[in-house]
Amino acid sequence: MSKRAHLIYNPEKECMSRDELHALQSSRLAETVRREYECVPMYRARMDEKGIRPEDIHGVEDLQYLPFMEKTDLRDYYPFELLACPRSEIVRIQGSSGTTGKPIVSGYTRNDVDVWSEMMARTLTAAGCTKDDTVQVAYGLGLFTGGFGAYQGADRIGAMVVPMSSGNTQRQIMMMKDLGVTLLCCTPSYATFLGETIREMGLVPGKDLKLKAGCFGAEPWTEEMRVHLEELLGIDACDIYGLTEIAGPGVAFNCLEKNGMHINEDHVIAEIIDPATGKQLPYGEKGELVFTTITKTGMPMIRYRTHDICSLTDERCACGRTTARMSRITGRTDDMLIIRGVNVFPSQIETVLIRTQGVAPHYMLIADRVNHSDTLEVQVEMTEDMFSDTVAHIENVRRYITEQIKSVVGISTKVTLMAPKAMPRSEGKAKRVIDNRKL
């Protein structure tokens, strides 16, 4: 894509020396732990159990001695028991899409909303956003953090915000065209749907639309999908990462180098652990991402296990930022399917599908158990061209995909080619997996 200049929202914080950053993180961590110990009985009990006192925590290197926090804690102490401040200090509640049981809610103080807005302002700026831009927010606006996060970041920059929320696809595109929207924020799966619809409406990105960049996140997507979206929409497609428990979107973001996501390390500390043993892993190794918030005052999180799999690097980036970067998320431990003993992530299958001519990036994985053995069906949609091709050619493509999956993932699957438009379209987070074995 176009080589645009790197813009940095807060160079003082984003380009600090690593030593300075380490010192800042250390003092903020010590303060966070002290406050958490004093104000959150659950965490105090957990530290007492391990025999750790707040004064034992001097810096980042002591993080490894602290107990973890988990998603189940947010359910067990729902809704307010993890607050580290009086309830009257909370100015906002956001919640996660939480697919099962009680939703997960997080309380934000004025400070927390400000910090989050700052992180999102950095995120959008890294994608090239300035006050002259028009930003369409097509993430859901509501309890889900996506919409408000993008809104707050664009507002902080002083850009013109179009708060569409998700859905109503034709209208989204009409506004995009009429208002000359330059930056789109939504999930990558919704961006695919929008892109397809734009084409179907006979509009040509670059000619009829002014879009230059997209900040896409909230769900796992592959490098192949990114390239696909850049071509489909004629934009720079940037990955953005976040989660309700830590702040919302903007915890980490791509700069235009798109070589990993810069972590807002003056506000959070990232670690990678071995998910089985809980031991810290060095930079470069893949494992479970763990975050500690160091400026949050409403509901601080210490060593929060995200269940997201990635690696970290602190190699210098050409953009000038000094912050460490996290790799693309290859999957969530909870999305990982174990098929006949083999670990399968939807992203591996997505990579194969997008590289294949004749199929569209709309797919679903369906796991089942037949005669005590696991089965995996991959349903993927054909393009219009492919659909009208010969039966023999369609069968060849089907066989090709089966072989590719076998060689990349190592398992046999049943590949089913679906008619164009047969798969459900997503306006928010796409559902890619149905595991009938769990029902």
Q: d(Cα 305, Cα 245) in Å, to the nearest integer?
A: 10
CB of 78 to Zn ion, least distance (A): 37
240 binds ligand ADP (CB under 6 A): yes
CB of 235 to ligand ADP, least distance (A): 16
Helix axes 346-355, 223-233, angle to 10 degrees: 50
Binding part of the chain for ligand ADP, among 107-115, 156-164, 241-249, 397-405 by CB under 6 A, reads 241-249
Q: Which residues pair with 310 in a beta bridge?
A: 287
Number of residues that bind ligand ADP (CB under 6 A): 18
196 binds Zn ion (CB under 5 A): no
Per-residue x/- marks for ligand ADP, 101-120, CB under 6 A? --------------------
- Cβ neighbours of residue 55 under 8 Å, at least 6 residues apart? none
**60 contact choice in Zn ion, ligand ADP, none (CB below 5 to 8 Å, kind-dependent):** none
Per the structure block, which two tokens stand in for 257? 């180098």
DSSP letters for 296-351: --SS--SSEEEEEEE-EE----TTS--S-EEPPP-EETTT-EEETTEEE-HHHHHH
Q: d(Cα 139, Cα 244) in Å, to the nearest integer?
A: 14
**Nearer to ligand ADP among residue 98 and residue 278 (C-beta):** 98
Q: Single out the residue of 44, 75, 332, 355 in contact with ligand ADP (rule: CB under 6 A).
A: 332
97 binds ligand ADP (CB under 6 A): yes
**255 contact choice in ligand ADP, Zn ion, none (CB below 5 to 8 Å, kind-dependent):** Zn ion
SS (H, E, C) 385-432: HHHCCCHHHHHHHHHHHHHHHHHHHCCCCEEEEECCCCCCCCCCCCCC
- Which residue bears the tokens 């459900």? 424
239 binds ligand ADP (CB under 6 A): yes
256 binds Zn ion (CB under 5 A): no
Which residues inside 207-226 make contact with ligand ADP, applying CB under 6 A? 217-220
Q: d(Cα 395, Cα 407) in Å, to the nearest integer?
A: 18
255 binds Zn ion (CB under 5 A): yes
Number of residues that bind Zn ion (CB under 5 A): 5
CB of 55 to ligand ADP, least distance (A): 32
**337 contact choice in ligand ADP, Zn ion, none (CB below 5 to 8 Å, kind-dependent):** none
Contact 382, 419 (CB under 8 A): yes
**Helical ranges in 54-168 per DSSP H:** 71-76, 110-126, 145-157
Which residues inside 270-329 make contact with Zn ion, applying CB under 5 A? 317, 319, 321
CB of 357 to ligand ADP, least distance (A): 26
275 binds ligand ADP (CB under 6 A): no
Q: Single out the residue of 98, 163, 275, 420 in contact with ligand ADP (rule: CB under 6 A).
A: 98
Beta strand residue intervals within 18-66, DSSP E = none
Q: Which residues pair with 80 in a beta bridge?
A: none
- Residue 81 backbone dihedrals phi, psi, to 5 degrees: -70, -15
Closest alpha carbon to 247 in 262, 264, 272, 271: 264
306 binds ligand ADP (CB under 6 A): yes
Binding part of the chain for ligand ADP, among 90-98, 158-166, 201-209, 378-386 by CB under 6 A, reads 90-98
240 binds Zn ion (CB under 5 A): no
**319 contact choice in ligand ADP, Zn ion, none (CB below 5 to 8 Å, kind-dependent):** Zn ion
Q: d(Cα 198, Cα 186) in Å, to the nearest integer?
A: 15
Contact 229, 184 (CB under 8 A): no
CB of 330 to ligand ADP, least distance (A): 9
Which stretches of the chain bind ligand ADP, using CB under 6 A? 96-98, 144, 217-220, 239-244, 306, 308, 329, 332
- Please report, as ranges, the residues that interact with Zn ion according to CB under 5 A: 255, 257, 317, 319, 321
